[in-house]
Homo-oligomer: A and B are copies of this chain.
Amino acid sequence: MEWNFEAGVPIYLQLMDGFRQAIARGEYPPGQKLPAVRDLAVEAGVNPNTMQRALAELEREGLVYSMRTSGRFVTEDANVLETLKKELSDACFEAMYEKLTALGMTEIEIREALDRWLLDRAGI
């Protein structure tokens, strides 16, 4: 993973986002042990506290769990992972939708354009 933070949004949120995508992508498979917080922190070039916070929040979300002495692991709960994927893709769709409405397109126009685009894509 390569980190590349943008200004204006809290780093721990960006870290969480990165992990969410890595997990959804399967880069960190279910049950996989994560590196130590300190290692992750130096790799990302952030303060260990910041990394700790990101992971703690992810734990709150149920995406990772920690076994007191042996480290942190990606959840094996298929349900949670499914939900994660859904949330990420939905966010993507929302972003697209918002952009297009900001562009002046109505809902109907968007659906038509989307259908057209999917057909074109299938045609390619």
Contact = CB atoms under 8 A, between A and B. Distances in A.
A42 interface: no
Majority-rule SS of A interface residues: helix
Contact size class for A?
20 to 34
Interface string A71-110: 0000000000000011011101101110110111100001
A118 B111 contact: yes
Contacts of A11: none
Contact of A85 (B24, B105, B111, B118): B105
A120 to B, nearest CB: 8
Given A96-B95, A96-B96, A103 B117 contact: no
Contacts of A105: 85, 89
Given A21-B103, A95-B96, A103-B24, A89 B110 contact: yes
Contacts of A117: 89-90, 93
A25 interface: yes
A76 B90 CA distance: 33
Contacts of A95: 96
B96 A25 contact: no
